[in-house]
Amino acid sequence: MAHVPQTFFDALAVRTWCGLALRALGRAREEIDAINVYPVADGDTGTNLYLTAESAAAAVEAVFEGHDAHGSGKPALADAARAMAHGALIGARGNSGTILAQLLRGMAQVLAADGETAHTDGEGLRLALRHAADSARQAVAHPVEGTVLTVASAAADAAGAAEGDCGTVARAAYDGARAALAATPGQLAVLERAGVVDAGGRGLVAVLGALVETFTGEAPRAVPVMSGTFPKAGSTEVSAAASETTTSSDECADAPATGGPAFEVIYLLEADDTAVARLRERLDGLGDSLVVVGGDGLWNVHVHVDDAGAAVEAGIEAGRPYRIRITHFALGDVHTTGAERQPREPAQRAVVAVVPGEGLAGLYTEAGATTVLARPGEPPASGELVDALRRAHAREVVLLPNDADLRHTAAAAAEQARAEGIRVALIPTRSAVQGIAALAVHEPERRFDEDVVQMTSAAGATRYAEVAVAERQSWTMAGICQAGDVLGLIDGDVAVIGSDVTVTAETVLDRMLSAGGELVTLVLGDEAPETVADHLETRVRESYLAVDTVVYRGGRQGAVLLIGVE
């Protein structure tokens, strides 16, 4: 889709670049996965880069949507750049995605240096690219030439020698990166034997191509990835080439030897700089491919190790690790402390559900669902949903997003899983109580289409509401609310503004039951008053004949109370 070229690097240019980079990586994802032989031939570099860019783009979109909602116009360059960097950091996947996150963070540090500046020019872009390349190299414990780091440095060098506007600088960076990418097989023996260029570098060239398109309106020409026909990642030829990688300190200091680390460990970490410095030393002694990116108290840690538990324990000692991912290079996602799973036949059908609290996660798990926990303010990215769809290990999967705002994310995840051969049906549940209703009628023995229809009907017949506390003053369908007001939302819209949780919840429940109902589901958050469930159960029993009530503990779920009426 054509767009208006950007003259300066401003917030809109950041948004445009993120969107075009995501599209470019989407087109190149399978190709990049196929040439992925270093540091491990696991065929996921393109996917990891795409998911990292997707998280960055989503964060930038959220900033623009926030400004639109408050009528404050376009965000500042600093706001958009910081959002891009933060989104990439929290969504970074794999070795390549983690390095891309640091490249974007390095750029953002320059672009956001003066928070009042509306835009920057070619000189600012040159400085941003230079700082990006340098900071990414510093984040890698043992930099290796012939990788994405080499391509990034070449792009920065070429940009530094260019004079002109952002389009001229972006074009120079792209051309420099493209030339460096073509030379990578001569720098890294595993690439030369496989007859391919570096996969991470190929992804960065795609991202820089999107930068050129942002400022010129023209997409650069295609990039060659190999000389002649190359084998698919994971094939005997590629795996053999990867296992033969030399480990001499002057050529491939970070290359894995035959029979090298079995696990990839990734987590986000809240910790201070001093603790992270100690963590780097400890993880460097445990394994290889160590990349630690971030700053300002939040870090993304990536390492290849044999002892996954020790890598996680090191993070616990340094601070608070979360979103922990442990992947066995031979068996796929393990999601345990590192114990290998025995290969097993896929189940015929499974359910994957996004849930807002630990209590509901337990409830859904007991019902047989694979869950993805959505913490307050931290909605899952499509990559997390794809992981869960794979983890369900079934030929057919029903996906319950349980949030209206996740519909696009869930659709993207379902599409990717379908491309991998999994039959996925997405039921557009907008609340966890609708998901509970759908799960209650789930019958794995039924035909898939019939099961999906029944689950969809049950979810659609369930009205949903929530009681929450307003964080700020805002306009609502029920009038103006102030920070601290208790809000009653019915089917996503504010219907009641009150000052007491129990009274507001009763008003909401009465409005919902005025249209009839047979079953009321109450899901209590940690902040719900102790007496609210008893009060509402008594209200239903005394005022609405033949209506049953069921109560669950949701834990830390964001809303004080979730209500469902079937």
The reported pTM is 0.59
pLDDT by residue (tens digit) across 206-265?
A: 999 999 999 998 888 767 665 443 334 334 333 333 333 333 223 333 333 345 677 888
- The torsion angles phi and psi of 241, rounded to 5 degrees, stand at -60, -40
Q: Which is nearest to 48 in space by CA: 188, 234, 200, 205? A: 200
Q: Which residues pair with 120 in a beta bridge?
A: 9
Kindly state the DSSP code that residue 9 receives in the 8-state scheme. E
CB contact set of 68 (below 8 Å; sequence gap of 6+):
none
- The torsion angles phi and psi of 153, rounded to 5 degrees, stand at -65, -40
Q: Which is nearest to 407 in space by CA: 377, 430, 389? A: 430
Mean pLDDT computed over 326-332: 59
Least confident range of 228-232, 345-349, 475-479:
228-232
Residue 528 CA: distances (Å) to CA of 431, 436, 486, 495: 18, 20, 12, 19
Q: Which residues pair with 246 in a beta bridge?
A: none
CA gap 4, 2 in Å, rounded = 7
CB contact set of 82 (below 8 Å; sequence gap of 6+):
108, 112
Q: Is the pLDDT of residue 278 over 90?
A: yes
Amino acid 260: pLDDT: 67
pLDDT by residue (tens digit) across 87-117?
A: 999 888 888 899 999 999 999 999 988 766 6
**C-alpha 69, offset from chain centre:** 24
Q: Residues 215-224: contacts with CB within 8 Å, 24+ apart?
A: 215/5, 215/6, 215/7, 215/13, 215/165, 215/166, 215/167, 215/170, 216/5, 216/167, 216/170, 216/171, 217/2, 217/3, 217/4, 217/5, 219/24, 220/174, 220/178, 223/178, 223/181, 224/182, 224/197
% the chain with pLDDT above 70? 87
For 312-459, strand residue ranges (E) read 320-328, 332-333, 347-355, 370-373, 394-400, 423-426
pLDDT by residue (tens digit) across 16-32?
A: 999 999 999 988 888 88
CB contact set of 244 (below 8 Å; sequence gap of 6+):
189, 190, 193, 258
